[in-house]
Structure 1
Amino acid sequence: VLQTINPFSSSIDADQLFNISTGQAASLEITNCLLNTVSGGTFLRDQFIMECNLNSDRFHQPIKKNKVLSFASLKKKKKMKIGEKVHEVTLQRDLCGRLLALSLDTSIDLEKVLCFPITPMPLSLCHIDGSLNKPDKSVLIHELEKQVEDMEQPPPQVDLIIIDGFFFLNTFKEMPRSFGDDKEFHISGPQQTRTAEFTKDLKNIKFKEAIVKFLIDHWADQEMATIIGSKVIYIIHDLCYEYSVTDNKVTRIINNELSCPDHEEADTKIAFVACQQNEDSTITVRTSDTDIVVIMLANMEHLQARVEVWMDLGVGNARRCIDVSALYKKLGTKISKALPALHAFTGCDFNPALYRRGKKKPLQLLMNSEIFQDAFLDLGSKEHNVQDSFNIIQSFTCHLYGLKKLDDVNQARIVIFNRTYKVKDKSQPFSLSVRNYDACNLPPCESELLQQVLRTKFIACLWSNAHNAKITDLLPTDYGWKIVDEKFKMNWFA
């Protein structure tokens, strides 16, 4: 139940149908078909009765098949030509099994087949529609929290609060009808009526840009003087805008020391701001993102003063504080700095997760092995060559699949396949069972894993260097991505 969508959630578009199991939205055509099933069926029934009354032979004649659309109709389809004929092939999980069965029929070495990508996209990392496997990132936070269960909550005093702005906006259960009118995401002032689907629009990059620019200007209005009071407010976007009140007048200046235009994500900006504090203080970060906790832990050694960092996580009954400074001391520098690569490798917003491997077991493996700690720590270094630690990452992957004695993912694929389809009876039709083999159960092959590790290195370098204003000069196209139609797409195979 916890893994399905909540149909009563206020964040769901009330005018759109969603698959409760997958959370996938239905197209307009499918929505109309599903919502009009009863009325459409009633109409066809009445029409059939009328036709039978007019013609007695109609009852024995075939009934025209009516196309019924459902969420299953959303499966991605691919056209391929075979012998000058066009066949429409639905991309299914047993495609791997069909190829394996073909290898049996044509006397191809099965072990060699398993060493190569045998589906259009790695099903150990993707769903059948091509979307990425997404892990439950909160599991990592809950496991890390167990390291400091006896900490004091909340911090006794707070000198600086850093708020993840869009998370903060999403926490509002009731939004005012005006933030000020929505015309192509141009927000002209506080009296403009907001969109009815405010939470949904927060996922639109253009709308997000518009609302941030609106806030940058609106906080400079003199009416904000009573709200700012004796505090200093910072809004960090392209630059850092600092707001304060002097002689009852709001003053806005550019704070160059806290400006980090090279940072694209709020996650790294938060860590950057914390690392620029040069006075002893207590900082609380208000967020719900696992990424920010990981990034902060990786950059704790770059704090310039005696700064205590806390995370104010969650909402409602799940809201709690985590003493990040205490957690950093408990984990140690090595594990803390290895976490970005581990988190990226096991699945984050920019990298897919290994099918059903989760976050808990990978963290346990990391904490119990200095060899794995060193390997993931090295991935966060710009100068490190991925090939130098690739064999260790292969061994780590084999451990995730329960094969502790192996350090080769290609060999692991063969072992897992044989374990499942080892013939016990010589008369057993082996090729029949293999046709339905689910490729999700196999680890990625070596070439697929290499691309996953390259993306991991790029992400880990970004996160590990969040304390720097210039975060990286690495190119995504050198680390597991390619440009297609002016957008970055995953490069699945070497």
Structure 2
Amino acid sequence: MLRTVDTDVVVLAISCVPKLEGLEELWVHIGTGRNHQYLACHTISSCLGPERTHVVPLFHSFTGCDTTSSFNGRGKKTAFEAWKAYPNVTRGFEALYRGEYDRADPEIQKFVITMYDRSCPSETVNECRKNLFTKKDRQLDNLPPTEAALKQHTLRAVLQAVYVWGQCLIKNQNIPCPSEWGWQKEGEVWVPLWTQSPMAAQACLELIRCRCLKSCRNKCNCSKRQLKCTELCNCGGNCK
């Protein structure tokens, strides 16, 4: 019996059932006060099967935990339904455990697409973003992340699930430097590296142009945003 108030412990307990030799039952008592329950982790592990039991920590970290962000508007229930709808992602999670990131990428992207729209025919999250934005007029917050952002998110999930939780039964863990796994250091604090691609707001600034034929006189689109006119503008960037 384990006593906890943390969902992470439940996930680890489920994944460790096959690893603990001679173990017949593993129970977790979770919750506080009147809001508590007993969970039979051995039964849950049996229902999931050996393959999903092995990768359930990575599923948990990938879909959001204390050290990794979740997908906006997509909770654990939605993510698990997507897992059932697209079971091939289990192979992708397994590939991540083996360090085969290129092989896992198509499965991971399709899983994320399934979380946002099961009917979307796209094979990449970038294509899915375009389709959902143009055809269904969705807000940016309701679109899946870009491929660049998803890559960094996946690295953080792998660091947590494979290298930290994956060594939970080892006394002296060997944890790699977070800088190689979707994190960057600002001063003395580690913060997420969200993406290595330019932010959309910054990239869009380069596309702003005015339609002034002669002189803008500080009243054009560029000047309103405190930008200088460029060769994209009708004035050719030579106005005053």
Q: Structure 1 residues 484, 419: closer, same or farther in 2, change over 3 A? A: same
Instruction: Say if 2:152 is the partner of 1:451.
Output: yes
Q: Structure 1 residues 389, 359: closer, same or farther in 2, change over 3 A? A: same
Q: Structure 1 residues 299, 378: closer, same or farther in 2, change over 3 A? A: farther
Q: Structure 1 residues 472, 374: closer, same or farther in 2, change over 3 A? A: farther
Alpha-carbon distance in structure 2 between the residues aligned to 1:368 and 1:442:
19
Alpha-carbon distance in structure 2 between the residues aligned to 1:490 and 1:333:
32
User: Partner of 1:413 in structure 2?
Assistant: 129
Q: Any conservation in 1 of the 2:95–2:103 contact (CA below 8 Å)?
A: no
Alpha-carbon distance in structure 1 between the residues aligned to 2:123 and 2:13:
32
Bigger relative CO (Cα 8 Å, ≥ 6 apart): 1
Alpha-carbon distance in structure 1 between the residues aligned to 2:108 and 2:16:
23
More helix by share: 2
Give the TM-score, by structure 2 length: 0.75
User: Where does 1:351-362 land on structure 2 (aligned, <5 Å)?
Assistant: 351-362=68-79
User: Where does 1:151-190 land on structure 2 (aligned, <5 Å)?
Assistant: none
Instruction: Say if 2:182 is the partner of 1:465.
Output: no
Give the TM-score, by structure 1 length: 0.38
Amino acid paired to 1:454: L
User: Where does 1:17-96 land on structure 2 (aligned, <5 Å)?
Assistant: none
Alpha-carbon distance in structure 2 between the residues aligned to 1:485 and 1:493:
19
Amino acid paired to 1:322: L
Q: Any conservation in 1 of the 2:26–2:40 contact (CA below 8 Å)?
A: yes
Q: Return the match for 2:9 from 268, 283, 292.
A: 292
Q: Return the match for 2:20 from 303, 306, 327.
A: 303
User: Partner of 1:489 in structure 2?
Assistant: 191
Gaps of 5+ in 2: 197-240
Q: Deviations over 1:153-175 (max 9, x none)?
A: xxxxxxxxxxxxxxxxxxxxxxx
Amino acid paired to 1:479: W
Q: Return the match for 2:107 from 373, 392, 395.
A: 392
Alpha-carbon distance in structure 1 between the residues aligned to 2:155 and 2:19:
25
Which structure has the bigger radius of gyration? 1
Q: Any conservation in 2 of the 1:287–1:312 contact (CA below 8 Å)?
A: yes
In the comparison of the two structures, how many residue pairs are matched? 194
* RMSD, matched Cα: 1.7
Gaps of 5+ in 1: 1-283, 422-436
CA shift for structure 1 position 481: 0.2
Q: Any conservation in 1 of the 2:155–2:181 contact (CA below 8 Å)?
A: yes
Amino acid paired to 1:358: G
Identity %: 26
Q: Deviations over 1:52-93 (max 9, x none)?
A: xxxxxxxxxxxxxxxxxxxxxxxxxxxxxxxxxxxxxxxxxx
Alpha-carbon distance in structure 1 between the residues aligned to 2:83 and 2:136:
28
> What secondary structure, in the 3-state scheme, does the structure 2 residue paired with 1:299 have?
helix
User: Partner of 2:83 in structure 1?
Assistant: 366
User: Partner of 2:179 in structure 1?
Assistant: 477
CA shift for structure 1 position 403: 4.1
Alpha-carbon distance in structure 1 between the residues aligned to 2:176 and 2:79:
27
CA shift for structure 1 position 360: 0.8
Amino acid paired to 1:338: V
